[in-house]
Amino acid sequence: MNEKALWKLSYGLYVVSTRYGSELNGQVANTVFQITAEPIKVAVALNKNNYTHELLKKSKVFSVSILEKETPMSLIGTFGFKSGREIKKFENVKYKMGGSGVPILIEHALASLECEVETEVDVGSHTLFVAKVINAEVYKEGEPMTYDYYHQIKRGSVPKTAPMAMEVPKKEYKKYRCRICGYIYDPEKGDPEAGIPPDTPFEELPEDWVCPLCGAPKSAFEEL
């Protein structure tokens, strides 16, 4: 069996959020898909270890924010590589509360869905939640982020920001990889979101610089 065949499946990138009591949480998920049109139903698969999963098992309502292609790595890092058991993910982002009482991330979202769980399927490591869509909104036009595009950015093969046609002399800086999340620091690109300009070698990053995806310290990085 060639498991690489599965890499050819295409997915989007979403933030799935819920609330139980005073706890708001959300996580990045790529497995969100519409399954029926009448009534409109979607399915979402969440890992059982995730805090969002724990809350959703009790709340039975969730929102899906469809991320735009320009979503910064820092936002994906907050919702994808950090746990709501340790940080308050909604503290520094733009969101609103939906009619069902769930938080809806609107920062970098093209659209959102609000959903009520109807069926849960235990599929081993994950639970598949089948849900009725009770509300849907569009915030702006644009291209949605895809899972494939996100991986290209992570590998550093796609610039974090729209590329400017600028010819700069190529310098030979070494790339470094985060051992925690796999993020690759590319000196040519720097880390503009953290104020690190392009052409900053890894060695010259400030000591308190952290992985833009998972927040790991410089020491967690290895030379490629």
- Secondary structure letter of residue 110 according to DSSP: E
Shorter beta-carbon distance to Fe ion: residue 56 or 178: 178
Contact 28, 89 (CB under 8 A): no
User: Which of 75, 191, 213, 221 lies at the binding interface for Fe ion (CB under 5 A)?
Assistant: 213
Shortest distance (Å) from residue 65 CB to Fe ion: 22
Q: Which of residues 81-100 bind Fe ion (CB under 5 A)?
A: none
> For the chain, what is the largest distance between any 2 Cα atoms, rounded to a whole number of angstroms?
57
Q: Give Cα 39 distance to the centre of its chain.
A: 28
* Residues between 151 and 180 that touch Fe ion (CB under 5 A): 178, 180
As measured in angstroms, the least distance from the Cβ of 149 to Fe ion is 19
The helix (H) or strand (E) run that includes residue 16 is strand 14-20
Count, residues in the chain: 224
Residue closer to Fe ion by CB (options 98, 212) is 212
Does 214 engage in binding with Fe ion (CB under 5 A)?
yes
Q: Identify whether the C-beta of residue 26 lies closer than 8 Å to the C-beta of residue 89.
A: yes
Using CB under 5 A, list all residues that contact Fe ion.
178, 180-181, 183, 211, 213-214, 216
